[in-house]
């Protein structure tokens, strides 16, 4: 089984040392622009602040470590949950989780 975890964390560590912190959406957008993936759809998968891959669609959570974040071009995000680093995640969940609206809370 192959898990996707970034091998090169030097650039991520360097950015942290410099005080540069980018949210996952900005990281994915910058990577798409730099690598020519703008307008190609699919999702960018990020682990520990580092882009690991682009894939055509979100699938196979067991190929990814828990904590990986996948972001599509519209900014929708999912996080790999459950499982472990050795055997991969169990599932993808929306991230952040959908919140309950005020109207739904008042009905409950």
d(CA 4, CA 76): 20
Q: What strand order describes the sheet that includes 50-55?
A: 50-55, 43-47, 69-72, 77-81, 91-94
pLDDT at 22: 79
pLDDT tops 70 at residue 15? no
59-79 confidence digits (pLDDT tens): 999 999 999 999 999 999 999
pLDDT at 4: 42
Instruction: Read off the pTM.
Output: 0.73
């Amino acid at each position: 089984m192959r898990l996707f975890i970034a091998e090169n964390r030097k650039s991520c560590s360097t950015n942290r040392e410099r005080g540069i912190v980018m949210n996952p959406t900005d990281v994915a957008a910058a990577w798409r622009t730099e690598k020519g993936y703008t307008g190609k759809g699919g999702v960018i998968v990020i682990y520990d602040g580092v882009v690991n891959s682009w894939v055509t669609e979100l699938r196979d959570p067991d190929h990814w470590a828990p904590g990986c974040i996948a972001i599509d071009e519209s900014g929708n995000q999912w996080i790999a949950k459950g499982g472990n680093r050795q055997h991969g995640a169990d599932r993808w969940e929306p991230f952040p989780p959908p919140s309950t609206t005020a109207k739904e809370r008042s009905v409950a």
